[in-house]
Amino acid sequence: MTTTTSDHGDLVTLRRDGGITLDIMSLGATWLGCTVPVGGVQRQVLLGRHSAREPLAQSAYLGATIGRYANRISEASLRGDDCGLALVPNPGSRHQLHGGPEGFDKRIWNIESRSGHEACFTLTSPDGDQGFQGELDVRVTYRLLDGLAIEMVAEARTTRPTPVCLTNHAYFNLDATHRDAREHVLRISADRYLPVDRDLIPFGRLDPVQGTSFDFREGKTVARDWLRDEQQEAGAGYDHAFLLDSECAAMQRPACVLSASDGSLAMEMSTTLPSLQVYGGQYLGGIPSRDGTPCAACAGIALEPQFLPDSPNHPEWPQPTCWLEPGQVYRQVIRWRFLPRG
């Protein structure tokens, strides 16, 4: 494990000999890069910036740890019988996205502990932060496991009732040379997805994937049914949440499996969270890349385990509550396992 310092916080490098190397910046607890051994060569599997010395001159949340609430909250408000709370909307929108304009991706996290294989980041979000009530103490631990795996354990405690949904916004491209990531094969353990309007706000119903372009249960290239139906017109492609099968919550089966276009590398993702947001990267065009050149559209795929978007306003949905109460501990796990093939 090594650490360097810049104006944008510390950079921690976790590594296992002959295994994964993961670079994490304390600004946003952000993954800057991740390499995996494939055929004796370390392959970069993330979109990202080159170093912590560069500002995050991008709006795509590349590799950032997201909070206080990942994804969208409709009308930037929490509505209910005993709660009416105005949140801070994101610029140019009446909704809140990824915790607001000054979400956790914009904060310098404290590095509480670090070792060769593990780093623990902490953050305190004050009462009223981005409109949310309650002081929230957050701890996120990233660790390298045996068998080419990374684990994220997110924990939080609050002083007042508040919704919490923490995730990582990594964009993956598993190809040796990063081309259009829609040529990757994706399999998702979900038979229902959440339709959205043109602001990507859920209508409120969960629809079956059967017979639609959202059926990834057997695995297919992301490109195969791209823009095939009207529902994808809202986000110019896939930018939707899938309700994961119940077996996924105990991490007894992967939430999804992503495979490189040539089959040389696969990634299994498992999680205790109930849903998976799939974003095809269609608005990545022009975002600065690791070598300073602009990214192409669909250069990477974001696979974000989380609660369903706008969940604080939909207690009727078939998932655990996203609300955290004083005295409770929020604890969720995400695990990424890389599987070189051939």
Peptide bond into 157 cis (omega under 30): no
- Write down the pLDDT at residue 48: 85
- Write down the pLDDT at residue 108: 97
- Write down the pLDDT at residue 198: 94
- Write down the pLDDT at residue 289: 82
Quick one: tokens of 183? Answer: 């040529």
Respond yes or no: is residue 268 known to be catalytic.
no
* Residues 326, 219: Cα–Cα separation, whole Å: 41
149 is in an annotated binding site: no
* Residues 28, 7: Cα–Cα separation, whole Å: 13
* Residues 238, 257: Cα–Cα separation, whole Å: 16
Give 236's Cβ-side CA count (13 Å radius): 6
Q: With beta carbons less than 8 A apart as the criterion, state whether 168 and 65 touch.
A: yes
Q: Which residues pair with 3 in a beta bridge?
A: 12
169 is in an annotated binding site: yes
Catalytic residue among 98, 178, 184, 304: 304
314 is in an annotated binding site: no
- Write down the pLDDT at residue 1: 53
Q: With beta carbons less than 8 A apart as the criterion, state whether 76 and 92 touch.
A: no
Strand order in the sheet with 207-208: 171-172, 301-306, 275-279, 239-243, 192-194, 207-208
What is the Rg, in whole angstroms, of the alpha carbon atoms belonging to the chain?
A: 19
- What is the pTM (predicted TM-score) of this model? 0.94
Q: With beta carbons less than 8 A apart as the criterion, state whether 242 and 212 touch.
A: no
Residue whose C-alpha is closest to residue 166's, from 294, 28, 24? 28
Q: How many CB atoms lie within 10 A of CB 92?
A: 5
> Which contacts qualify for 122-129: CB closer than 8 Å, 24 or more apart?
123/29, 123/67, 125/67, 125/68, 127/159, 127/160, 129/68, 129/102
79 is in an annotated binding site: no
Q: Residue holding tokens 């999680």?
A: 271
Quick one: tokens of 309? Answer: 């978007």
Respond yes or no: is residue 240 known to be catalytic.
no
**DSSP element (H, E) containing 25:** strand 21-25
* CA angle at 262 for the pair 261 and 268, rounded to the nearest 5°: 65
Instruction: Provide the residue ranges of all domains of the chain, joining segments of one domain with +.
Output: 2-340
Class of domain 2-340: mainly beta
| Gap between the terminal Cα atoms of the chain | 30
Catalytic residue among 169, 178, 184, 240: 169
Q: Residue holding tokens 């409120």?
A: 204
**Distance from the Cα of residue 185 to its chain's centroid:** 19
How many helices and strands in the chain, by DSSP H and E? 0, 28
**Distance from the Cα of residue 29 to its chain's centroid:** 12
Quick one: tokens of 218? Answer: 């057997």
171 is in an annotated binding site: yes
- Write down the pLDDT at residue 83: 63
- Per-residue pLDDT tens digits of the chain, which is 342 residues long: 555 555 567 999 999 999 999 999 999 999 999 999 999 999 999 998 755 555 455 689 999 999 999 999 999 999 865 567 999 999 999 999 999 999 999 999 999 999 989 999 999 999 999 999 999 999 999 999 999 999 999 999 999 999 999 999 999 999 999 999 999 999 999 999 999 999 999 999 999 999 999 999 999 999 999 999 999 998 899 999 999 999 999 998 999 999 999 999 999 999 999 999 999 999 999 998 887 888 999 999 999 999 999 999 999 999 999 999 999 999 999 999 999 986
Q: How many CB atoms lie within 10 A of CB 73?
A: 27
